A and B are shown apart, each in its own frame.
Chain A
Amino acid sequence: MSTLTTPRPAAPPITPPRRDLPLPPPLHKKRSTARLALRGSLTTAATLLWKSAAILLFLALWEFGPRYLASESTRVFLPPLHEVLIAGTDLIATGALQSHIAASLTRSAAGFSIAVVLGISLGLVIAWYGPLHSFLNPLLELFRNTAALALLPVFTLLLGIGEESKITIVAFAAFFPVLLNTIAGVRTVDPLLVRAARSLGLRSPALFRKVILPSAVPTIFTGIRMAGTSAILVLIAAEMVGAKAGLGYLITNAQNSFLIPQMYAGILTVSLLGLLVNVLLVTAERHFSRWRTSINT
């Protein structure tokens, strides 16, 4: 009984590394340990190789495919990887790529920030007041299902081809994931937690701040991550239609000027930028949902 009731501060689970496992007889000790360590690092290397194999194969195909497989005329439109990389380095050397990245990032960051601020605050209000939610929901559904790019002409007509229209369309595209996830997050709070909080004497404002908001944060962050992805996608498309700077402009401009390797350098930059943004947002999302890990796994 007493052994059962005394709390045992459980030590964090320790998984010993492989090479610390049962030692062989002393004579062979040195060699075996070395062999095991070697095997361990070989396994790690193999895993790493397997995980990057698809990308390496793709890059190899990109490099050698156009040279040996494609016909002469196709190769013009599909330059091998090294030509693209050289074009990219040139763009960096002249500072052109940096300024295009800066232009794109400024626009998407501005639109994204507007979307996040508006989406979260409106979402909280709408979710908190039930009647408002049932009133606005049909309209929100309609807007959400309208492709943002379909509205590009409208924004261009109303706001011109300057920064305003691009920031607006990014904000529009990023707004809905944030808004809808905020609403969902608030409305799916476990009613038991609300009951518990009320029984603890928490009244509306405190209840909202201490229970509803924290429990909605992971869902809201999922929305923010989705918004980040669509912010970049939509911006590139918008820049392709009408802009004087930005990665979308770089790509179309290179195409029109028949600078094909430059065009691919632009595309590659867009991919890497999207990847980077996504990794950052996933990290942030994970940080804010730490307490939920056990539920998900």
Chain B
Amino acid sequence: MTAKISLRHVGQEFSVRASKGAPNSLLVLDDFNLDVRPGEFLTIVGPSGSGKTTLLDLLAGLAKPTSGQVLVDGHEVTGPGQDRAVVFQQYALFPWRTAARNVSIGLEGTGLNRRQRAAKAGEFLDLVGLSGFSERYPHELSGGMKQRVAIARSLAYEPDILLMDEPFAALDAQTREQLQDELLRIWRETGKTVVFITHGIDEAVYLGQRVAVLSSRPGRLKAIVDIDLGEREGESDIRSTTRFVEHRHKVWSLLHDEVQAAQNAGHRKVLPDGSAPDEVPANHPLLAQRSAA
């Protein structure tokens, strides 16, 4: 079986403008190799600064790797494409558009007329359980509802691959569990390939068929854990089964050393534009300026 997504020897370097003088280069991903199977639900966990978001940007085509190749269906990724969709942690809905018009934005320019687009938006809002909310503006929706709209928006133009960057991290625990179950249902119904980035081990084990564990910076693939929780249907509280706990512990042990290593090295998040404000030493004059501003 050929891989749906294939990362080959991918390296990503940023020049960081943290200190004065020549920009430092920062190796975020190094010789990264990973294959994602078609129709698979893969979750990715890793310590802060291990390049999870960078990885997603590369897959989405929002950034180009410094070295190596990112292949989707055997073709190199050169930019964003309608075969892939991204769901962001902060929803990223367009606040001046209603829920329905947010969902249909990816359909504009595809030859569908306004009526057809609206019908399709309604269909996908139904899928995420938001029928009746199509004329609401994002500010009239709760966090969970916003993320549902964002999911509907990414599904509406029917991509093969769904890329999700900690999509449920900003939600409360109850809403998160609810959306996790809905995501699994949608995944089963639609058969998409899902790459789901998270910092929650429970979430990774609960959702993923496989969990990819990244090393601390520079990010490499440390291990892939196959998750087999058995028959899910009928199991009311899967998170407290022995199987779940075993898998969870396995991922935790793999991650634990890396988190420790990352903390000791003081690695923090690097922003998408390549700046890493947290990388500035605490007594650096730039930092004082920043806080004064």
Contacts and interface: CB of A to CB of B under 8 A. Distances in A.
A5 B181 CA distance: 10
B135 to A, nearest CB: 11
Interface stretch (B32-40, B87-95, B227-235, B248-256): B87-95
Contacts of B92: 192-193, 195-196
Interface in B22-51: none
Nearest to B90: A192
B95 A201 contact: no
B223 interface: no
Contact of B132 (A5, A7, A201): A7
Contacts of A193: 92, 94
Contacts of B86: 195-196, 199
A201 B80 contact: yes
B105 interface: yes
Given A191-B272, A195-B92, A206-B109, A294 B140 contact: yes
A136 interface: no
B112 interface: no
Nearest to A294: B139
Contact of A201 (B82, B88, B129, B139): B82
A196 B132 CA distance: 25
Interface string A1-44: 10011110100000000000000000000000000000000000
Interface in A168-189: none
Interface residues of B, number: 35
A41 to B, nearest CB: 32
A214 interface: yes
A10 to B, nearest CB: 9
Given A201-B106, A293-B139, A211 B62 contact: no
B80 A4 contact: no
Contact of B273 (A6, A191, A197, A215): A191
A4 B182 CA distance: 11
B133 A295 contact: no
Nearest to A213: B96
Nearest to A195: B62
Nearest to A196: B92
B249 to A, nearest CB: 27
Interface in B189-234: none
B182 A295 contact: no
Q: Which of A195, A201, A214, A215 has the most B CB atoms < 10 Å from its CB?
A: A201
B96 A215 contact: yes
A135 interface: no
Interface in A255-297: 290-295
Given A192-B88, A195-B272, A199-B60, A295 B139 contact: yes
Contact of B106 (A1, A200, A294): A200
B130 A291 contact: no
Nearest to B57: A195
Contacts of A82: none
B131 A7 contact: yes
Contacts of B273: 191
A75 interface: no
A67 interface: no
A202 B85 CA distance: 12
Contacts of A7: 129-133
A191 B95 CA distance: 14
A244 interface: no
B137 interface: yes
B81 interface: yes
A291 B88 contact: no
Contacts of B157: 200-201
Contacts of B132: 7, 9
Contacts of A5: 129, 178, 182
Interface string B88-125: 10101011100000000110110000000000000000
A198 B80 contact: yes
A192 B170 CA distance: 15
A51 B81 CA distance: 57
A7 B95 CA distance: 21
A89 B100 CA distance: 55
Contacts of B85: 199-200
A202 B133 CA distance: 25
A1 B157 CA distance: 29
B133 A211 contact: no
Q: Which of B82, B90, B96, B139 has the most A CB atoms < 10 Å from its CB?
A: B96
A290 B153 CA distance: 22
A195 to B, nearest CB: 6
A9 B126 CA distance: 13
12 contacts: A4-B178, A6-B129, A191-B273, A192-B92, A193-B92, A196-B88, A198-B80, A199-B84, A200-B105, A210-B94, A291-B96, A291-B138
Q: Which 8 A-B pairs have the closest CB atoms?
A: A294-B139, A196-B92, A9-B132, A199-B86, A291-B96, A200-B106, A214-B96, A291-B95
Interface of B: 60-62, 80-82, 84-86, 88, 90, 92, 94-96, 105-106, 108-109, 129-133, 137-140, 153, 157, 174, 178, 182, 272-273
Given A199-B84, A199-B86, A295-B139, 5 more contacts: A1-B178, A7-B130, A9-B132, A193-B92, A195-B88
